[in-house]
Amino acid sequence: MHIADLRREYSRAKLDEREVADNPFVQFQRWFQQALDSHVLDANAMVLATCGSDAQPSARVVLLKAFDERGMVFYTNYESHKAKDLTENPLAALLFYWKELERQVRIEGRVEKLTTQENEAYFQSRPLESQISAWASPQSQPIEDRAVLKARVEAYRRQFEHTPINCPPFWGGYRLIPHYFEFWQGREQRLHDRIIYQKSADKWVIGRLAP
């Protein structure tokens, strides 16, 4: 296999700064809806990149669970590796890749925790098994084997058999508050379109980058 020979042309669409929305959240909503309408698998999956005080970057796929002009929301265990990074350094980046549409969206910003009320409201919307798993998994901690995890799940299942399951104090959401967006559209001859939005005071400044 010759990895260097793996390539393809991009020709589905174009992106013109004269046609994009003035607001990046509106532009993101347009593209996100098009991804849903095109049946892109896991359209809300995004790579979350963090970096703690050790300056070691770390990335993983998480799911976008809400967004509005306040920012992009995701949930996790507050004792996880990503949470440790975000405690030490609240700056983070997101990346959406919609292969079927030949599109990427990069978002950079500062992350803050959601309120207890927001966490509880979302937690109660989750399926029962997901609620139990949130309690059972000591995320990012070493475990001997999968049997340990299954035993913890069964223990919490018995514990909550006759009582409501509240959101664990060590689990909840974050909101990334963007100051930068980049919308990438694949084009012919690798001359891709890259339209950026940068926050300047209370407004967004639109620009174009060379591919």
Q: Percent of the chain scored above 70 by pLDDT? A: 100
**pLDDT band at residue 2 using 50, 70 and 90 as cut-offs:** confident
- Each domain of the chain, given as residue ranges in start order, spans 8-126+169-208
pLDDT for residue 5: 86
| Alpha carbons 130 and 112: distance in angstroms, whole number | 23
Average pLDDT over the chain reads 97
The CATH superfamily label for domain 8-126+169-208 reads Electron Transport, Fmn-binding Protein; Chain A (2.30.110.10)
Would you name the residues annotated as active-site residues? 190
Report the alpha-carbon distance of residue 203 to residue 160 in Å, rounded.
48
Q: Give the pLDDT score at 22.
A: 97
In whole angstroms, give the CA distance from residue 197 to residue 30.
15
Q: Is the dihedral of CA 98, 101, 102, 107 positive or negative?
A: negative
Q: What is the pTM of this model?
A: 0.94
- For the stretch 158-192, pLDDT in tens is 999 989 999 999 999 999 999 999 999 999 999 99
